[in-house]
Structure 1
C-alpha cells in the first residue's frame, strides 16, 4: 500500500545498517573515553583534577603550598581545576560523538538535523 509517506525499503535498510554501525562504534568510543585521563588545573597550577573522557573522577593533586594557605584557597583552586577538567572532558566527548555520527541524516521526526 502506498501513501503512508514511509521511505522506500532500500533507504530504510540503509538507515538501519548505519544505525547498527553507529551502535558498534559507540561501544568502542565508550571504551576509549573510559581509558582517557583529562587533566584540569587551577589558574596558578597548584591544584589538578583528572577525569576520564566519561567524566568519572580519577584523582586530585594539591600542591603543599596551597594547603598552607588554608581551606578557602584550597577549595577555590580545587573547584577551578574541576571546572577546567569538566569543560575539557565535555568538549572531548562532544567532539568524539560528532565524529561518530557525522554525515548521518536519517530525516526522522524528532531527530533534528
Structure 2
C-alpha cells in the first residue's frame, strides 16, 4: 500500500524539523534586524537617517548648514537620505532572508527584484 507516491514517515518528520528550524532562525533574524541600525545619507552628507533592519525610523541628523537652504532643498535632501536608508535596509534584509532560506526563491513581498 506504500505505492501511492506518499512520502514515508521519515521524510515527513524531516520536513517538520526543517520547518521548525527555519521558524527558529526567522525569530533570531527578526531580533537581529530589530537591533541593527542602518544609515542613509544624502549626496553631500548633510542629512543622515538611521533605520532599524526592519525599516523602522530610529533617528535623523541634519547639519546646521542645510537649514540656510530653501525649503525645497531641505526637503529634497531629507527625502534623498530616506531613500538611501530604505534601499540599504531593504538590501540588508533581502540578503539576510536569502541566507535564512538557503537561497530558495520564496518571492516574498517587498523583497523581490521587481520592486527595487
Same fold by TM-score, threshold 0.5 exceeded? yes
Once superposed, what is the RMSD of the aligned Cα atoms?
A: 2.0
Q: Which runs of 5+ in 2 are unaligned?
A: 108-116
1:57 matched to 2:51? The reply is no
2:98 touches 2:104 (CA, 8 Å); kept in 1? no
Q: How many residues are paired up?
A: 107
Q: Distance in 2 between matches of 1:22 and 1:40?
A: 30
Q: Distance in 1 between matches of 2:28 and 2:45?
A: 33
Task: Provide the TM-score with structure 1 as the length reference.
Answer: 0.85
Q: Which runs of 5+ in 1 are unaligned?
A: 106-110
In structure 1, the residue matched to 2:39 is 39
Sort the Cα spacing of 1:59 and 1:87 in 2 relative to 1 into closer, same or farther, 3 A. Answer: same
Task: Provide the TM-score with structure 2 as the length reference.
Answer: 0.83
Q: Distance in 2 between matches of 1:83 and 1:52?
A: 14
